Structure 1
Amino acid sequence: MAIAKAMGEAVERYCSAIYDPHAFRLAAWRDLSVPAVHPDLLEAYRTDQFDWPEFLWHPFTIETPVHWTRGVSLLTGREILLPAAAVYVPYHFHGATRSAFVMQPISTGLACGASFDEAALSGLCEVLERDAFTITWQSRLSRTRLAPETLPPSAKDLIARFNAVGIDVKLMDMTTDTGVPSILCVGVCDAATSPAVAVAAATDASPERALVKALDELAHTRKYAKHLMRYTPEVPVQVEEGHPMVKDQREHLRFYCPQSAKAFARFAWASPETVPFDNLADLSAGDASEQLREVVHNTASAGMEPIVVDLTTPDIAPLGLHVVRVVVPGAHPLYMGHGSRALGVSRLYDVPPRLGYRGLAAGGMDNPYPHPFP
């Protein structure tokens, strides 16, 4: 299974990197004569962020020239254009294409599966997972913990393996207004030679699959963090300066390796409330197609329309694999680099109150510490 997952990951990254930038249409949204995602739904940044020192990104407006590629709504089946930078990874903004730097290209929503629907379901769940995590982290929400005694045997076995080597596993229900099961998993260790905090998360139509996946991801994250701890220097805490040394995935993980970093993450598992695992909704009845319909419906009920792009290349298709990119305009994005975090997405401010939390004030500052997501 591990080999199959690794191969799928490699194939999805391969397919997402195959594109001709000169084949895309370069245009501002206002000049398009066909349906296209409105820039307001993809603008991640607040107006004041564009004045931050060394801020890389440009405002995305109806007048901004970007490259567009074709996608299909998973809700209605209609064709709709979306920025190529939201689809392909790595996406290179360079002078020859004259496309504006409007968003951080990242792999969220990329997926490989044995069928188109299986891949689309996986990609959509990853978008919802990262939406849930970033809202939780930036708003410093103490999400309800999962009662350990109610967990399924598959999870208890994995947790016992972590416990056996001195790692305490914290599990929280971070499901948002979409109602799709989303689980936050934190591994905490007291050993000075081991990462103090490591984080993983997962969203799935099946709560048990989400839980097991989050625990699997935690093992990967901790292994990588331990490698970084051994071979890279400690990342300084620079709250007033905005943590300029936290620029990519490595620094985000390395920041939480020292024992002192526990203080910055403790809110994540601080809730006194617990919930039985069985309280999580189970949307996994039926095959991948039926589960995809359920998750798309829930996403639409939260006010978002998922869009899919088929990235399967001609050399991969004969293998029976399907690679897609799912983009959900309006969902809160994951970002790398504390100075590139998204403060302009309405869900960051709207979702916490819907879930019963106070949340952030519009225009206020978010969590002053970088996220630990890999």
Structure 2
Amino acid sequence: MDGEKLIILPISNGAAAGMDYEKAIQRGLLELVERDAFVISYLNKLQLPKVDLHSIDVWRIDIIQDISRRYRLEIHVMDMTTDLGIPSFVTLTINRTGIGPAVLSGLKAGLDPIEAIVGSFTEALHLRCKIRMAYEDDNGRIPETTVEEINTSEKRGLWWYSKDKIKLLDFWINQKPEPLRHDFSPEGIVSITHTFEKLGEKAYYVNLTLPEFSAVGIRVVKVFVPHLQPHYLDEKYRVLGGKRLHEVPIKLGYKTAGINSYPHPFL
């Protein structure tokens, strides 16, 4: 609204589309859940459980491991599920060859944990071409960028491009793999909204569907859950004031050691 003060820099958190409003809203809610979990986990350097992919007998997980071997990538899937109880994962693709980006990450929350793991991996993988092209477009060099200058996905990806940055994620990479802890929940949006209600949180959405999309059956929304930890892209304006950032780790029994000063690796 005109004259309304800016609280945080707006990005696409919670924006989603679907063939009906229920699907679109569910996707928006799950995106908010995954990003809440990621920012809380990364900034607090939480020692998350690492998922043992070898313990999952599913063909799609087998494909992930085949791809990682073919391209000499390490795959680390971290379970970052919070007090919301909705399965949430970050997948790190680590490349120690010196060819291509060393660190990329993908996020996904979902009611089916296998689908969420696969989604987080594919998100990390499809960013490899984008960041490698940015590197080559800059004549194969990594620009000297200060942390506060990182405000685009390209700058963030190039900051994490070199192998010397991998050690900054040792607090996740070095965790011992464990069997997957979650089961599939078939209840959809009812399950998600019930979770928020139990924690006293309310979800809202705005219909953004243009007539052109409506005519072909596509619905577009922007979903908000005010107290969830926001994601951010501009390191100069990190969002550090939310209660969940500081309270959720304690609630879940994690030890914390202050706020991580390095830029997060999610593009």
TM interval, short-chain normalised: over 0.9
2:250 to 320, 338, 353: 353
- TM-superposed CA distance for 1:208, in Å, is 1.4
Alignment of 1:146 with 2:39, yes or no, is: no
Q: SS of 1:244's equivalent? A: helix
1:280 to 168, 174, 182: 182
| CA distance in structure 2 between the partners assigned to 1:250 and 1:101 by the alignment | 25
**1:213 matched residue in structure 2:** 119
| CA distance in structure 1 between the partners assigned to 2:189 and 2:216 by the alignment | 23
Q: SS of 1:315's equivalent? A: helix
2:142 to 227, 230, 234: 234
| CA distance in structure 1 between the partners assigned to 2:259 and 2:145 by the alignment | 16
| CA distance in structure 2 between the partners assigned to 1:235 and 1:206 by the alignment | 40
Q: SS of 1:316's equivalent? A: helix
Residue pair 2:76, 2:91 contacting (<8 A) in 1 also:
yes
The structure showing larger relative contact order (alpha-carbon pairs under 8 Å, at least 6 residues apart) is 2
Amino acid at match of 1:106: I
- TM-superposed CA distance for 1:222, in Å, is 1.7
Residue pair 2:20, 2:218 contacting (<8 A) in 1 also:
yes
Alignment of 1:321 with 2:224, yes or no, is: no
| CA distance in structure 2 between the partners assigned to 1:183 and 1:128 by the alignment | 10
Structure 1 residues 1-374: aligned runs within 5 Å: 67=1, 97-151=2-56, 152-232=58-138, 233-236=141-144, 238=146, 243-272=147-176, 274-277=177-180, 279-283=181-185, 285=186, 290-359=187-256, 365-374=258-267
Moved more, 322-331 or 308-317: 308-317
- TM-superposed CA distance for 1:235, in Å, is 4.4
Residue pair 2:91, 2:105 contacting (<8 A) in 1 also:
yes
- TM-superposed CA distance for 1:159, in Å, is 2.6
Q: SS of 1:227's equivalent? A: helix
| CA distance in structure 2 between the partners assigned to 1:372 and 1:135 by the alignment | 13
| CA distance in structure 2 between the partners assigned to 1:255 and 1:332 by the alignment | 24
TM-score of the superposed pair, with normalisation by structure 1: 0.67
Question: Unaligned 5+ residue runs, structure 2?
Answer: none
Query: What do the CA deviations read for 1:10-57 (whole angstroms, capped 9, x no partner)?
Result: xxxxxxxxxxxxxxxxxxxxxxxxxxxxxxxxxxxxxxxxxxxxxxxx
| CA distance in structure 2 between the partners assigned to 1:123 and 1:328 by the alignment | 10
| CA distance in structure 2 between the partners assigned to 1:217 and 1:102 by the alignment | 29
- TM-superposed CA distance for 1:98, in Å, is 3.1
Residue pair 2:21, 2:219 contacting (<8 A) in 1 also:
yes
- TM-superposed CA distance for 1:352, in Å, is 0.7
Q: Indicate the percent of aligned positions where both proteins have the same amino acid.
A: 26
- TM-superposed CA distance for 1:329, in Å, is 0.5
| CA distance in structure 1 between the partners assigned to 2:145 and 2:210 by the alignment | 44
Q: SS of 2:215's equivalent? A: helix
Query: What do the CA deviations read for 1:64-97 (whole angstroms, capped 9, x no partner)?
Result: xxx2xxxxxxxxxxxxxxxxxxxxxxxxxxxxx3
Query: What do the CA deviations read for 1:291-316 (whole angstroms, capped 9, x no partner)?
Result: 10101111232332111111112221
Amino acid at match of 2:171: F
| Larger Rg computed on CA atoms | 1
| CA distance in structure 1 between the partners assigned to 2:199 and 2:131 by the alignment | 35
Amino acid at match of 2:31: E
- Runs of 4+ with deviation above 3 angstroms: 235-238
- TM-superposed CA distance for 1:350, in Å, is 0.5
Q: SS of 1:319's equivalent? A: coil
TM-score of the superposed pair, with normalisation by structure 2: 0.93
Structure 1 pair 303/268, CA: closer, same or farther in 2 (3 Å)? farther
Kindly tell me the number of residue pairs found equivalent between the two proteins: 264
| CA distance in structure 1 between the partners assigned to 2:166 and 2:65 by the alignment | 20
Residue pair 2:8, 2:239 contacting (<8 A) in 1 also:
no
Q: Over aligned residues, Cα RMSD in angstroms?
A: 1.6
